[in-house]
Structure 1
Amino acid sequence: MQDNPPRSFRDDEIDLVELFQSLFKQKFLILAVAALVTLMAAAYAFLATPHYQVQSILRPVDRGSLDELNSTGVYDLTPSEALSRVGAGLSSYESRLAFFRDHQALFSGLIEPGRSLEQVFEEFNRTSFTMLQVDPKKAAGQSEFVGLSLTYPRGVEGVEVVNGLVTFVLETERARIDSDLKVLVANRLLNIEQKINAARASYAASKEARIAALLEQDTLTRAQLQDELHALRSELKTRRQSRIAVLDEAIQIAESLGIDNPTTPSSMSESQRQGQVVRTEVNSREIPLYFMGSAALKAEREALNARRSDDFIEPRIAEIEKELTLLKQNRQVEILEKRQNEDLYLKDLAEWRQEAAQLKGIKFDTSALKLVRLDQHALEPLAPVKPKKALIIALGGVGGLMLGIFVALIRNLLRPRQTNKP
């Protein structure tokens, strides 16, 4: 019985020893590819346009730097708010574009034919500027700051761009504060003027209402006094007529009794004691009027009939006439109408004028206003940040070596392989 031949590996299986031997045989190819890639990386590292990086850091000022502005009583700005406003200006696309348009000489290396200034700036702004701020996750242990970082190619004056942009934003914010301050002062003054005009209108209306009320009260009082006067005179006339009627009756009684002169009941009784006896019973304390005698009663009646006015009998009538005379001219109304400087009677006018004088006296120079503290100026960089030559060459060498090995492996796979025959 014949022994079975030993089994061999299939054709598609890889012998590691053979693979390493194949790679070793192609070592010069691998080294050549690695050298070529490394050379290409070195060429790129030395021929690529270098890019530099500069930055500027801003921090809040102390409160004393803004005290003069805040002491105006119109504008209130804290150091944190000032830093935030400057940071917003630095990150503003509009501010950067305005600076770019005003300082095109600093960006001469970016100008390319066929591209507008806006297109050139759009690309540069998107890829070159970076805002530096406190990390919110680590804000507890960091002091507040705002920074601007610029990565720029050769041909751009990066240092002047960053420092110039910071100065430009600061000047813009100062101008904006100056404009806001003037607007606030003007609005405050306009508001005060409106208050004064409203107070004048209110005073004029209240004065007219007061005069009308006083005159109306005088008219009412005058009418009431005249009514009272008319009622008193009517009463006095009625009383006079009633007295005349009483006198007529008493005269008739006196004549019927033969009493011509004033007498008393007792006297009359004694004179008639020898003749006819007249008994008179007096129940009231007053002596009947007819005892005055017909002569006296007739004299009084004639006097009453001859009277033209009863005013002197009632003292109140004199008082009413006095009051009516006083009501002919209301001195309070006369004084109100003769007022010349009515502003003196306006409430809070002195306070408003004092505030207006203070506002008009505000002469704040914002050009010297210190909004932020410049912690770090942009300085000329010592070396470019990219391309990083050593790293590129090293990566090129590693990549070239890997590529060489890959090429060697491909060649090894594509090479026809020998098989053992029985």
Structure 2
Amino acid sequence: MRSQPQLQTSTEEIDLLELFSSIWRQRTTVISVTLLAGLIGTGYAFLAPREYQVSSVLRPAAINELDALNRSEIYTLPPAEALNKVGARIDSYDARLSFFKANPELFKAFKKPGQSLEQGFEEFNNNSLSLVLPDPKKVDLSSYIQLNMQYPEDTNGTAILNGLVDHAIGLERAQIAADLKVIINNRLTELQGKIDVARSNYEIDKEWRIAKLLEADKIKRAQLQDELAGLRLQMNKVRANRIAELGEAISIAKSMGIRTPTTPSSMATADSKPNQVMRTEVNNQAIPLYFMGTEALEAERDTLQKRKNDDFTNERVAEIAKELKLLEANREVETMNKRVNEDIFLQNIETLRAEKARLSNLNIDMSTLKLVTIDRRALQPRAPAKPKKALAIALSLAGGLMLGMLAALTRNTIQSRRKAALSKPTHH
């Protein structure tokens, strides 16, 4: 009983050796299957449809390439952001579809009978194109975008890939140009609105100043006219009082028989010799008006009664007339109303005008704007990417060898079981 494990181990070792020897005995089968599989692999390698692969690599443009756009101060586009925009445009379904529709002669191999244009594009978009982005976990010297394309034989894959890249860059450039135009127009509209507000404020201020000046002139004119009327009334009253005073003096002079001008001292000399002291005292007193005599007094009264205007008797009347004449026209108002270009009088809009002139004259040649640097354009491949002949033949030979060995082992197992069944004794 104790010798059974040793016998079993020895039997297993004998079976393993027998296994390899059985494979060797059936080496013809193994070699035949291997050669058959290799022949099949070789046929696949040389007869299968060939597929080629091309790629294009984009990197950020130099800073100076985007300097004209960034110096506009209204649109900022760093090189890395420009690369992302172009990459998003290349990955855009609409951009790829528009290029597909615009170049049907390049995509004849992708359009199968019975398929619509969109179906052919879907197959091309899903199976032929792939966008490779840098791994964010890895630290690269610079970012990049790689576009790969697989295509069948008799297809100009180089023209397709390079054309798609140029088409996407052109679309993104046109989009940036359109955005820039909208931004400039909006900015110009905003600036014009601010200038219009300043112009409106100027018009309101101008009307207010004119109204204020005219109102001040009107008030001044009314005051001068009131003063003139008061002066004339005063002068008329003074003349009436003078006429009344002359009338009284004429009455006194007639009663005293004074016809011509005389003085009290003269009248006193005529009567008696006056005292020297008394004469000095009389000379220092105001001489009454009736001493002028009736002739002079009546002449003055007649003249005053015939007078129609007393304006010349007061200098202030002439001054008022001068001031009223000056108030007939306000030269400041006339000058403001005769302004031809009123925009030059607008305040605090110099910067607005300068910015508007700058934006109006802003001329960025978008056709020469370099958004990205094409580090590697697609080139015609030297060999197809699929099938790889050497790999296909090697894999087919390896698979044939394994299949031949499996066939040999299977055949050996079947033969062993048959021998074991035949070697068993027959019981009656």
The equivalent of 2:146 in structure 1 is 147
The equivalent of 1:330 in structure 2 is 330
Cα distance in 2, alignment partners of residues 52 and 333 from structure 1: 86
Cα distance in 2, alignment partners of residues 78 and 376 from structure 1: 21
Cα deviation for residue 162 of structure 1 reads: 1.3
% same residue: 40
Q: 1:350 to 1:86 in 2, by over 3 A?
A: closer
Q: Does the 8 Å contact 2:195/2:352 carry over to 1?
A: no
TM-score when normalising by structure 1: 0.68
2:121 aligned with 1:121, yes or no?
Answer: yes
The equivalent of 2:157 in structure 1 is 158
Cα distance in 1, alignment partners of residues 321 and 12 from structure 2: 144
Cα deviation for residue 83 of structure 1 reads: 3.1
Q: 1:384 to 1:263 in 2, by over 3 A?
A: same
Cα deviation for residue 104 of structure 1 reads: 2.6
Amino acid in structure 2 at the alignment position of 1:221: K
Cα distance in 2, alignment partners of residues 317 and 25 from structure 1: 152
The equivalent of 2:95 in structure 1 is 95
SS of the aligned residue for 1:136 comes to: coil
The equivalent of 1:58 in structure 2 is 58
TM-score when normalising by structure 2: 0.67
SS of the aligned residue for 1:324 comes to: helix
Cα deviation for residue 263 of structure 1 reads: 5.3
Cα distance in 2, alignment partners of residues 391 and 346 from structure 1: 85
Q: 1:396 to 1:292 in 2, by over 3 A?
A: farther
Cα distance in 2, alignment partners of residues 312 and 137 from structure 1: 107
SS of the aligned residue for 2:137 comes to: helix
Cα deviation for residue 143 of structure 1 reads: 1.7
Deviations 1:300-338 (A, max 9, x none): 666655543332332211111111122223334444444
Cα distance in 2, alignment partners of residues 50 and 211 from structure 1: 90
The equivalent of 1:219 in structure 2 is 218
Q: Does the 8 Å contact 2:42/2:392 carry over to 1?
A: yes
The equivalent of 1:235 in structure 2 is 234
Cα distance in 2, alignment partners of residues 361 and 123 from structure 1: 45
Cα deviation for residue 134 of structure 1 reads: 3.4
Cα distance in 1, alignment partners of residues 14 and 314 from structure 2: 155
Q: What is the alpha-carbon root mean square deviation over aligned residues? A: 5.5
Cα distance in 2, alignment partners of residues 262 and 31 from structure 1: 179
Q: Does the 8 Å contact 2:264/2:287 carry over to 1?
A: no
Within 5 A, what are the aligned runs for 1:11-410?
20=16, 27=23, 35=34, 47-67=47-67, 77-139=77-139, 141-177=140-176, 208-241=207-240, 287=285, 290=288, 293=291, 295=293, 299=298, 305-339=305-339, 341-342=340-341, 345=344, 347=346, 352=353, 356=357, 359=360, 362=363, 365-388=365-388
Q: 1:155 to 1:290 in 2, by over 3 A?
A: same
Cα deviation for residue 67 of structure 1 reads: 4.5
Amino acid in structure 2 at the alignment position of 1:323: E
Cα deviation for residue 396 of structure 1 reads: 6.1
Q: Does the 8 Å contact 1:110/1:156 carry over to 2?
A: no
Amino acid in structure 2 at the alignment position of 1:227: D
SS of the aligned residue for 2:52 comes to: strand
Task: Flag structure 2 segments of 5+ consecutive residues without an equivalent.
Answer: 6-10, 275-280
Cα distance in 1, alignment partners of residues 303 and 253 from structure 2: 19
Q: Does the 8 Å contact 2:253/2:293 carry over to 1?
A: no
Q: 1:38 to 1:250 in 2, by over 3 A?
A: farther
Q: Does the 8 Å contact 2:58/2:146 carry over to 1?
A: yes
Q: 1:111 to 1:26 in 2, by over 3 A?
A: farther
Task: Flag structure 1 segments of 5+ consecutive residues without an equivalent.
Answer: 10-14, 275-280
Cα distance in 1, alignment partners of residues 329 and 61 from structure 2: 71
Q: How many residues are treated as equivalent by the alignment?
A: 400
Cα deviation for residue 395 of structure 1 reads: 5.8
Deviations 1:335-380 (A, max 9, x none): 44445x4367454699949965984684x65444443332212122
Q: Does the 8 Å contact 1:34/1:401 carry over to 2?
A: yes
